[in-house]
Amino acid sequence: MSSRVIVVGMPLKIYNTLSRRLEVFQPLEPGFVRMYVCGPTVYDYNHLGHGRTYVVFDALKRYLVLRGYHVKHVVNITDIDDKIIRRAREESRDWREVADEYTRDYMEVIEKLNIHVDLHPRVSDHIRDIIEFIQTLIDKGYAYTTPSGSVYFNVDMYSGYGRLSNRLDKQLWSQEQEFLSEKKNPYDFALWKAAKPGEPWWEAPWGRGRPGWHIECSVMSIRYLGKQFDIHGGGTDLIFPHHENERAQSEAALGVSPWVKYWVHVGMFTIHGDKMSKSLGNIIPLREAFRKWSPEAIRLFYLSLHYRKPQDFTEEGMRQAQSLYQRLVATVNLLNKLSKEATSLHRLEESDLEILERLLDTRRKFHKALSNDFNTAQALAAVHELTSIVFKEIQYNPRYTLVWKAYQLLREYNTVLGVLDKYFEKTGDELRTLLDEIIGVIVEVRKELRRRKEYELADRIRSELEKRGVRLMDKGLETTWVITK
């Protein structure tokens, strides 16, 4: 990412699902943002719908960093769950083998999508923490055990239930119907599930079993982000019951409110207007999508629509995203070329000043869009406007000031978009490899000069390289070299 930028006088606003309104973003600790995003349940390959959530929160984090915040970004991996157990049973495999296979798929996916997460805690590594958390809820009277060895959260004990999902009628709370016979209320939810034959289990004070779904995210987010943190994210499908239950059990155990300051949710993802499902056969794993479209185009596709709106996948939409990516690549390559050819003047004409102002206006539009509930669609419109200025005007009358400003702005925009990193940033290893290759070519050319007995030119090459810290050592016609500074 590029250096941090603080946009003065432009407050960042974000929609909070809990309050159902736009709020000015002010983290609990000035300058520091703690963000937890619900990650994958690793029982199958990650698909296009998962990717949208991953990319949106990565881009949001990138923008927060651009605004000058330090961000701690945690994404859980659910590696023990009913779906994983069912998959393992169907395939006659150990549940850990299934979880490890699809965890690798997830890690490969986010690497391709240029997503960087600070920590990926796995549920199976936090069982002791989960047991201690459940015991706290039991001790405080918010949870109860059953003769079977299961533990449930008593929803009636928590007065704020339903506020996050805006389900204030108890008739809308019913969940986990398969456990009705041992629950006090149809809307109570499992914290610990009693062991069943053939399923993994751990010892707990109330009996052998494994964690329920919701408890894991409370425990791991609190462990790594503290008793209160700034952003909790996920898809809208998680608002109820998952996030509603997380909020209830966390605030009950900790005695704090709010546990999370901003609840942020990404809209549903559909395929040609239909919800993704195995019965329709329309699930597109990301590993397959990468064979047809570049990861950069997929990132741009996700960011082409406001994150809270439902997004529908179409081939045409992907073609447009691929075209946009190609246009951005062409723009940065053209700017690199023009930077070597541009005229450096001590005076700009009125027409140049007008172009410079329009370039700066794209920056105002970019930040205005992202500052208003992270509207990436409008931000991309500003980026496209910059590319048009480059292709239609700067290209035909390159002034160094304009070329350099356009380059700087595009680099800044890419800090959020994350699709042009390889064109802007070379790592130390990449630069060393490139340097080695260039020196190797020079050495081969010099070898040919020596073979032709053009010693004067060969010696000049040796001398010029020596001045720049590259020492050549000849042995016959073969040459080795070493960098001396």
**H or E element in which residue 387 lies:** helix 376-392
Question: In a 3-state reduction of DSSP, which class is residue 62?
Answer: helix
Q: Which residues of 307-323 are buried (b: 16+ CB within 10 A; e: fewer)?
A: bbeebebeeeebeebbe
Q: Is it the case that residue 5 has pLDDT exceeding 90?
A: no
The two tokens of residue 271 are 């395929």
CB 269 within 8 A of CB 276: yes
The two tokens of residue 28 are 């609990």
**Predicted pLDDT of residue 3:** 46
Report pLDDT digits (tens) over 212-233: 999 999 999 999 999 999 999 9
Q: How far apart are CA 133 and CA 143, in angstroms?
A: 11
**H or E element in which residue 271 lies:** strand 269-271
- Tokens 């919800």 belong to residue: 275
CB 298 within 8 A of CB 113: yes
Lowest-confidence segment of 6-15, 202-211, 243-252, 377-386 by average pLDDT:
6-15
Mean pLDDT computed over 99-114 = 98
Q: Is it the case that residue 238 has pLDDT exceeding 50?
A: yes
Lowest-confidence segment of 181-185, 395-399, 432-436, 463-467 by average pLDDT:
432-436
Mean pLDDT computed over 434-463 = 88
CB 246 within 8 A of CB 37: no
- Beta bridge partners of residue 430, listed in sequence order: none
Which alpha helices (DSSP H) does 91-192 contain, by range? 95-112, 127-139
Report pLDDT digits (tens) over 38-93: 999 999 999 999 999 999 999 999 999 999 999 999 999 999 999 999 999 999 99
Q: Is it the case that residue 346 has pLDDT exceeding 70?
A: yes
Q: Is it the case that residue 279 has pLDDT exceeding 80?
A: no
Confidence of residue 1 (pLDDT cuts 50, 70, 90): very low
Report the residue count for the chain: 485
Question: In a 3-state reduction of DSSP, which class is residue 284?
Answer: coil
Q: Is it the case that residue 8 has pLDDT exceeding 70?
A: no
Mean pLDDT computed over 110-128 = 98
Q: Is it the case that residue 327 has pLDDT exceeding 80?
A: yes
- Tokens 């920590």 belong to residue: 119
Q: Is it the case that residue 2 has pLDDT exceeding 50?
A: no
Q: Is it the case that residue 239 has pLDDT exceeding 90?
A: yes
Q: Is it the case that residue 435 has pLDDT exceeding 80?
A: no
Q: How far apart are CA 213 and CA 83, in angstroms?
A: 11
- Please work out, in degrees rounded to the nearest 5, the angle formed at the alpha carbon of residue 32 by the alpha carbons of 30 and 37: 135
Lowest-confidence segment of 36-50, 121-135, 333-347, 383-397 by average pLDDT:
333-347
Q: What are phi and psi of 272, to 5 degrees?
A: 50, 40
- Beta bridge partners of residue 480, listed in sequence order: 473
Question: In a 3-state reduction of DSSP, which class is residue 269?
Answer: strand
- Label residue 34 left, alpha or beta by phi (over 0 means left) and psi (-120 to 50 means alpha): beta
Mean pLDDT computed over 304-322 = 97
Q: How far apart are CA 437 and CA 96, in angstroms?
A: 44
- Residue type (1 letter), 368: K
Question: What's the sign of the alpha-carbon dihedral 128, 129, 130, 133?
Answer: positive
Percent of the chain with pLDDT over 70: 96
CB 37 within 8 A of CB 276: no
Confidence of residue 428 (pLDDT cuts 50, 70, 90): low
470-475 vs 478-483, strand pairing mode: antiparallel
Lowest-confidence segment of 80-89, 104-113, 235-244, 279-288 by average pLDDT:
279-288
Q: How far apart are CA 394 and CA 356, in angstroms?
A: 10
Q: Measure Cα distances from 320 to 159, 275, 325 in Å.
A: 48, 22, 9
C-beta neighbour count of 73 within 10 angstroms: 23
Provide the Cα torsion 182, 186, 192, 198; round to 10°.
Answer: 60
**H or E element in which residue 190 lies:** strand 189-194
Mean pLDDT computed over 166-176 = 91
189-194 vs 269-271, strand pairing mode: unpaired
**Predicted pLDDT of residue 177:** 84
Confidence of residue 6 (pLDDT cuts 50, 70, 90): low
Mean pLDDT computed over 319-330 = 96
- What letter would DSSP give residue 162? T
| Mean pLDDT, the chain, integer | 93
Percent of the chain with pLDDT over 90: 78
CB 105 within 8 A of CB 79: no
DSSP sequence for 451-465: HTT-HHHHHHHHHHH
**Predicted pLDDT of residue 360:** 96
Mean pLDDT computed over 375-401 = 95
- Residue type (1 letter), 339: S
Is-above-0.85 flag for pTM? yes
**H or E element in which residue 264 lies:** strand 260-266
Q: Is it the case that residue 480 has pLDDT exceeding 90?
A: no
The two tokens of residue 253 are 């155990």
- What letter would DSSP give residue 43? S
**Predicted pLDDT of residue 90:** 96
Q: Which residues of 229-267 are buried (b: 16+ CB within 10 A; e: fewer)?
A: bbbbbbbbbbbbbbbbbbbbbbbbbbeeebbbbbbbbbb
Alpha carbons within 13 angstroms on the beta-carbon side of residue 4 total: 11
The two tokens of residue 469 are 């810290």
